[in-house]
Structure 1
Amino acid sequence: MTALIDLFDSLGPWSWVILGVFLIALETVVPGVYLAWFGISAIVVGTLMFAAGDAISLPWQLVLFAVVAVATVLAVRRFANKQDVESEDRDLNQRSAQYLGRVVVVEDAISGGRGRVRVGDTLWPASGADTPKGARVRITGANGMVFTVEPVTE
């Protein structure tokens, strides 16, 4: 272990740059985005070491790496979570909610609170007041894939 530490220390700032490039290259093999930020942090520490020369000892280099790594991860998390994308269709992934307010025809009479309605070319389960086949009803809600309907009064 001491031989590895001596090698790391003997390369000086290049050891940090090599470690950073290695971590970024490893990121392409490992799923997720975890190692890239530590690789960038190692390159930043290497760059700071080039500027500072031999003024910073190895333990302080490790502390500096930890601080830069935490700052990098926090900065990335802060900006990565800013995905306030507004959709024109708020119910895009809620298929049953897209039909609220639509008037449809009862295909299987609603009896005992259960029946089926035709929406386009598809039959959907429905619940509501007893309604005969062929009557027009309005979709007022959805519980999962079961529409809640009420008779249309015109």
Structure 2
Amino acid sequence: MTVLLESPWAWVALGVVLAIAELLVPGYFLIWIAAAALLTGLAGLALPLPFAVLALLFVAMAGVAVLAGRRWYARNPGVDADPALNDRGGQLVGQGAVVACAISGGSGRVRHGDTEWLARGPDLPAGARVRVVGHEGTVLVVEPA
């Protein structure tokens, strides 16, 4: 393997292969390693460096690139098409429901569609209409409609 990677073009090829792998199986990290491999290949083309130096350069650049990538993704999170996609309670905020089991002492059950949810809110009799104003895990926070 060291004989293969002694050529700067092998580093460039490795970078291209890793970039293609990132496209096929996106994971947000191979592209940074691919960039490090491409830069290592370019450095090897610009300067006649032995394999050991190229390998150390690759390791250093890959580490810096991955850390920079993590930092960039932390500062620029992706925007979800539907932020409440996997948040069923969040999807119900603003919608109406009916008290299924009287809310007394601040807790009870409400029905939305064909599902009953634990609910927290003011004391209300069964059958009262409520509006979902929030949620705490799987417990809906409601107020009279």
User: What range is the shorter-chain TM-score in?
Assistant: 0.5 to 0.7
What is the aligned partner in structure 2 of residue 5 from structure 1? Answer: 2
| Equivalent in 39, 48, 59 of residue 43 of structure 2 | 48
What is the aligned partner in structure 1 of residue 69 from structure 2? Answer: 76
Query: Is the Cα–Cα contact under 8 Å of residues 12 and 41 in structure 2 kept in the other structure?
Result: yes
Secondary structure, aligned partner of 1:32: coil
Counterparts of 1:108-127 in structure 2 under 5 Å?
A: 109-110=102-103, 126=119
Q: Structure 1 residue 7: deviation in Å?
A: 3.9
RMSD (Å) for aligned C-alpha atoms: 4.2
Q: Structure 1 residue 64: deviation in Å?
A: 0.5
Query: Is the Cα–Cα contact under 8 Å of residues 19 and 42 in structure 1 kept in the other structure?
Result: yes
Structure 1 moving runs of 4+ over 2 Å? 4-9, 26-31, 83-86, 91-99, 104-119, 122-151
What is the aligned partner in structure 2 of residue 63 from structure 1? Answer: 56
What is the aligned partner in structure 1 of residue 24 from structure 2? Answer: 29
CA distance in 2, matches of 1:130, 1:5: 74
Q: Structure 1 residue 27: deviation in Å?
A: 2.2
CA distance in 2, matches of 1:26, 1:84: 22
Query: Which of 1 and 2 has greater Rg?
Result: 1
Query: Is the Cα–Cα contact under 8 Å of residues 96 and 144 in structure 1 kept in the other structure?
Result: no
Secondary structure, aligned partner of 1:98: coil
Secondary structure, aligned partner of 2:25: coil
- Paired residues in the alignment total 142
Secondary structure, aligned partner of 2:75: coil
Query: Is the Cα–Cα contact under 8 Å of residues 105 and 135 in structure 1 kept in the other structure?
Result: yes
- Gaps of at least 5 residues in structure 1 are none
Identity %: 41
State TM-score, norm by structure 1.
Answer: 0.58
For residue 46 of structure 1, what is the amino acid of its counterpart?
A: G
State TM-score, norm by structure 2.
Answer: 0.61
CA distance in 1, matches of 2:2, 2:36: 19
Secondary structure, aligned partner of 1:81: helix
Query: Is the Cα–Cα contact under 8 Å of residues 2 and 51 in structure 2 kept in the other structure?
Result: no
- Quickly say closer, same or farther: Cα 1:125–1:74, change in 2 above 3 A: closer
Deviations 1:41-94 (A, max 9, x none): 111011111221x2x2111110001011111111111111113789xxxx9954
